[in-house]
Structure 1
Amino acid sequence: MSQASPAVAPDKLGRDVFIVAGVVVLGAIMSILDVTVVAVAQLPFMQDFNVDNPATVAWTMTGYTLALAAVIPTAGWAASRFGTRNVYIASLVLFLLGSLLCALSTNIGMLVAFRMIQGLGGGLLMPIGMMIMTRAAGPDRVGSVMAILGIPMLLGPIAGPILGGWLIDVASWHWIFLINIPLGLIALVYAWMVLPTNDKAPGRKLDIIGLLLLSPGLALFLFGVSSSAEEGTFNAPRVYVSMIVGGLLILAFVFWALRAKYPLLDLRLFRNRTLTVSVITMAFFAVAFFGSGLLYPQYFQMVGEKSPMMAGLLLAPQGLGAMLTMPIAGKLTDKMGPGKFVLGGLVLILIGVSMFIAVGPEPSYVYLCGALFIQGLGMGMTMMPIMSAALASLRGDDVSDGSTMLNALQQTAASIGTAVITVIFTGLLLADTRGILMSIGLPGVDIPAPVVEAAKVDAANGFSTTFLVASVLVACCFIPAFFLPRRKITQVVAEDVQIDSADQPVVLPH
């Protein structure tokens, strides 16, 4: 029966794959939620730790992101050296330790340091989880696998603010970290029981030079990008010096990786045309998606005067739309290729983002929730098919390098998109507008109604212009997406291999 099942329905995910998927999704949920859940806790941190500088508290987010970027490049080496099961369990333990220490922090410095420990564990959960799932399902079912992994990836930014706001309202900020403990313990036991033990590859040497170039390079580059949001410009030494030094280190890694025998990331995989197009499309998409996604809760809070929890709830239609299309797109991508679905999804996303260009000082929530629902439909057809196109084109140990590159690229592109949108939006607001809108409802603060209304008009104009920029970024995604395969990936890869076999292999194994 076990051998006949794949022949009858090769695109179906078996019970064994769903069992493995459970532990991977649990880990992904924890890792991704902790990127967004801290966003609504910035003010409680300032109050509890007696810190009056928002930029200092923002390091609770930036430190986590930098740790993610620094550790992700080691995923491929760690998986081949120690096995995906062992690395995944170790990452869960480190993430849990970081979560507990964060909850026990007594000052802002401790919290930032412990957030970085948490990020070191969380950074490996997603790429290692993608390796585990891709190997368990096989190349013909990668689209279905990505549809499963896409649930936490798309819903995390929506559920994070809701969960964080609720926990802070009913308990305290400590619980946004303590909630990870029971989830993590369940994931640990689950992983110990179900993940395969015979997943080690032949020992792969650690590329120390590559590690010393790429990890600090990514961390410095993202530090500069993130700092631009605090500075309000890219033309500040703290920003451009970090970005230039980080960029030079990354460039040096590229030259090194193309010549090294066992590089930290095998950039020669980009000879695979399907992988190259998918990676470029993912970069454009991450800049546009994560950049524009930053604006919605801010608009609801600043102009609509909604609480953090209510702003998160208003994003729910986006998640509902993604949940409707994601499973369908995942299954059909395995049969028909990603091209048609990604292009169709981008059309829906562009329509949804463009609808926000019309925002004004008096929000129409039916209209805006409809726009978010349309976006959600498009997102479910876009992100996971792009990833499945890349991973389905790889074989054997190359899956680890491919998934690592995708995760590193997505983290970098998301940070760039967030920074660009933040700098543009901040530059469009009048000096006093943000302060006025953020002070509404605070105890002892009485702002005249005409002043509030004028501030809302100014903010709405700023949001409208920034959403126009976000729409242009989404439109740019069509260029690389047009070249994605419109047939089953395995067929396209087979043709590529046949064409290039006389010259050199498309994908070079380690």
Structure 2
Amino acid sequence: MPSSSASRIDPQTLRTTIAVLVGGIAVILDSTIVSVALHELAADLDTGVDTIQWVTTGYLLALGVVIPLVGWLQSRMGAKRLWIASLAVFLLGSILCAVAWDASSLIAFRVVQGIGGGAMVPLMTTMIMQASRGPERGRLMAMVALPTAVGPILGPVIGGLILGVADWRWLFLVNVPLCLAGLLLAWRMLPADGPATRVRLDVVGLVLLSPALVGLLFGLSNVTGDGGFARSDVLAPMIGGLVLLAAFVVWALRRRGAALVDLRVLRSRPTWSASALLFLSGASLYGAMLLLPLYFQELRGADALGAGLLLIPQGVGSLVSRTAAARLLERLGARGVAAIGFLLVGIATIPFAFADANTSIWLLMVALFVRGLGLGIVIVPVMTVAFVGLPHDKVPHASIVTRVAQQVGGSVGVALLAVILSASATATGSPALAFDAAFWWAVGFTVVAVVLSFALPGRKALAEDDPATVAAAEREASEAVAEV
């Protein structure tokens, strides 16, 4: 009889995973827990919703600024020091948000939170992937996928429950015990590591990439307003962001291993295929998280908390599928598990594409549970294989690339589905038909993802972690450093 997952994982690797998960849960929940409180925040701080929206937008843009720097910061500080410093910054931002006295101070303090959180999310994946190898990674990623998949779903629910019994300031104070526990565990359980080889900061790359991500994320965040993609505050930052991103790609390919983010990791099929699938999974998850609450509110008459509670089956499905995903990964490989997961997500979204105000709520609850099963299954193989065959020093670069892909994919999914929903409502004059059209687009994301899943490596590559490829990549990296 096979031993338990925990017993087959290296003890130090398991301790590292537990330590970063405890601190990381607060960051993952924080990305959506505030979304249900915008109207209450606007009323309490005596400002408009358009201003208080920057509580979310400022946090998002801070992530875009910090994420590209994580690889360089890790090389200068070491993973343990950077993790503890980032978690401390996030804790400070949470406390400051709880004592904010007006909208401007709250927005500024959310940026502080975003700076800490922006470093933690890619670093969490990097630390776990660098500490593990082979089949062990699938079991570890099943643990990491739990807050990653469930956090965006349960965030609004937890936020609504907190607002039901307490002041909005507790949305931020709830982070304090998690952060303190995370700091204690990080200090006690993370292995000590000093800075790696001193790497010069690629200033040109930073000046190109960080503003590029900020421009793209800011432009996409404005799409939900009237005018969609035709708005000047959408087109200008997006075009600017795309131009800067193209310039960064040219610059990074010339700089090779000395670039802020080494894009040569995308030469690896596991990395580029996983990045593309994370883009699509981000679009599917976050795009649907725009549509689903709106459907329950606008067509079914639920309030914000009621809509959040109706999404609980999706979170339960993700919880249930977590263990199964790791076992399926070992038996079927990433290719088969990802295809099955995206297929479940697509099939379970179809009932919403036919739904109206009178559709059986129980049918939709079952569909949400199945959709959660698919989402929980998808994250594990995609995040696991993204690092197959990469040498140790390239893992931070791959982690940044995959995180950016998921973040931008989520923003694209929200923006695109918001525009489709608005345009369809105008064209048909029927909210029900507008939601049907938007959900069909969400199904389309998953169809593309099912096809792309077959570009992932098979079970053999994951089991062996392709040592020959790792050695070849390490030789290539050494040659590149010598050339620079």
Alignment of 1:137-152 (within 5 A): 137-152=132-147
How many residues get paired? 478
Residue 468 of structure 1 aligns with an amino acid whose one-letter code is W
Percent identity (aligned): 35
The question of whether the paired residues in 1 share the 8 Å contact of 2:297 and 2:303 is answered with yes
Q: Decide which moves more: 319-328 or 146-155.
A: 319-328
1:217–1:318: structure 2 CA closer, same or farther, 3 Å change rule?
A: same
SS of 1:230's partner is coil
1:249 match: 244
2:173 match: 178
Say whether residues 1:209 and 2:209 are aligned partners: no
Structure 1 Cα separation of the partners of residues 40 and 342 of structure 2: 37
Structure 1 Cα separation of the partners of residues 336 and 83 of structure 2: 34
Structure 1 Cα separation of the partners of residues 241 and 384 of structure 2: 29
Structure 2 Cα separation of the partners of residues 430 and 235 of structure 1: 16
Say whether residues 1:82 and 2:77 are aligned partners: yes
Q: CA deviation at 1:199?
A: 5.0
Residue 469 of structure 1 aligns with an amino acid whose one-letter code is W
Q: CA deviation at 1:486?
A: 2.4
1:366 match: 362
Residue 223 of structure 2 aligns with an amino acid whose one-letter code is S
Say whether residues 1:350 and 2:343 are aligned partners: no
1:91 match: 86
The question of whether the paired residues in 1 share the 8 Å contact of 2:279 and 2:407 is answered with no
Match of 1:167 among 144, 147, 162: 162
Structure 2 Cα separation of the partners of residues 250 and 120 of structure 1: 21
For the pair shown, the structure with the greater C-alpha radius of gyration is 1
Q: CA deviation at 1:467?
A: 0.7
Say whether residues 1:285 and 2:257 are aligned partners: no
Structure 2 Cα separation of the partners of residues 366 and 200 of structure 1: 54
1:266 match: 262
The question of whether the paired residues in 2 share the 8 Å contact of 1:225 and 1:415 is answered with yes
Residue 329 of structure 2 aligns with an amino acid whose one-letter code is T
Q: Decide which moves more: 458-467 or 113-122.
A: 458-467
Residue 434 of structure 2 aligns with an amino acid whose one-letter code is G
What's the CA shift string for 1:41-60, capped at 9, x where partnerless?
011011112223x2222111
Say whether residues 1:106 and 2:101 are aligned partners: yes
Alignment of 1:304-453 (within 5 A): 304-334=300-330, 336-429=332-425
Q: CA deviation at 1:14?
A: 3.7
* TM-score normalized by the length of structure 2: 0.92
1:268–1:429: structure 2 CA closer, same or farther, 3 Å change rule?
A: same
Q: CA deviation at 1:332?
A: 3.7
Structure 2 Cα separation of the partners of residues 429 and 35 of structure 1: 28
1:331–1:480: structure 2 CA closer, same or farther, 3 Å change rule?
A: same
What's the CA shift string for 1:190-217, capped at 9, x where partnerless?
1111111125322222111111110111
1:190 match: 185
Q: Unpaired segments of 5 or more residues in structure 2?
A: none
1:481 match: 453
Structure 2 Cα separation of the partners of residues 297 and 58 of structure 1: 18
Residue 230 of structure 1 aligns with an amino acid whose one-letter code is G
Say whether residues 1:21 and 2:17 are aligned partners: yes
The question of whether the paired residues in 2 share the 8 Å contact of 1:28 and 1:153 is answered with no
SS of 2:224's partner is helix
Structure 2 Cα separation of the partners of residues 370 and 506 of structure 1: 49
Residue 391 of structure 2 aligns with an amino acid whose one-letter code is R
The question of whether the paired residues in 1 share the 8 Å contact of 2:280 and 2:406 is answered with no
1:453 match: none
What's the CA shift string for 1:18-39, capped at 9, x where partnerless?
3222221122211111110111
The question of whether the paired residues in 1 share the 8 Å contact of 2:23 and 2:179 is answered with yes
